[in-house]
């Protein structure tokens, strides 16, 4: 009988341990699910924050650019005379354009060049 009592007490203790283990395992799994869901939520929040900070950075740059353009346009309206640099640039452009024109009267690089056309060459071209 003594063996029977000890085996019965051991089985009840094992059952208690199993129940305790099961309840602890269940708690652990619940905490793990909660942890995973909170981690995902945190990642989503960080991603939203990063997107918003990027948008803010872009909007600040755009605002600075637009304000600079506005002040530049106001400056141009108040000062209708072109700056000295732009007039010098237009003169340089005129000089470049004038030098790139076809030479007149057979002048190339300051030397006169005569182009001779023989009548024979023209007649041979006509006959062909």
Does residue 100 carry a pLDDT above 60? no
Summarised one tens digit per residue, pLDDT across range 64-92 is 999 999 988 888 888 766 555 555 566 66
Cβ distance 87 to 95 under 8 Å? no
Provide the H-helix boundaries in the chain. 2-78, 84-99, 119-127
Percent of the chain topping pLDDT 70: 56
Would you list the domain boundaries of the chain? Answer: 14-78
């Amino acid at each position: 009988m003594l063996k029977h009592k000890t085996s019965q007490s051991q089985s009840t203790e094992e059952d208690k341990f199993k129940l305790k283990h099961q309840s602890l395992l269940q708690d652990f799994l619940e905490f793990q699910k909660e942890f995973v869901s909170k981690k995902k939520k945190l990642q989503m929040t960080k991603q939203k924050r990063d997107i918003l900070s990027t948008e803010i950075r872009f909007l600040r740059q755009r605002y600075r650019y637009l304000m600079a353009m506005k002040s530049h346009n106001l400056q141009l309206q108040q000062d209708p005379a072109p700056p000295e640099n732009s007039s010098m640039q237009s003169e340089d452009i005129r000089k470049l354009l004038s030098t790139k024109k076809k030479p007149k009267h057979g002048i190339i690089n300051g030397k006169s060049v005569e182009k001779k056309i023989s009548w024979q060459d023209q007649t041979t071209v006509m006959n062909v």
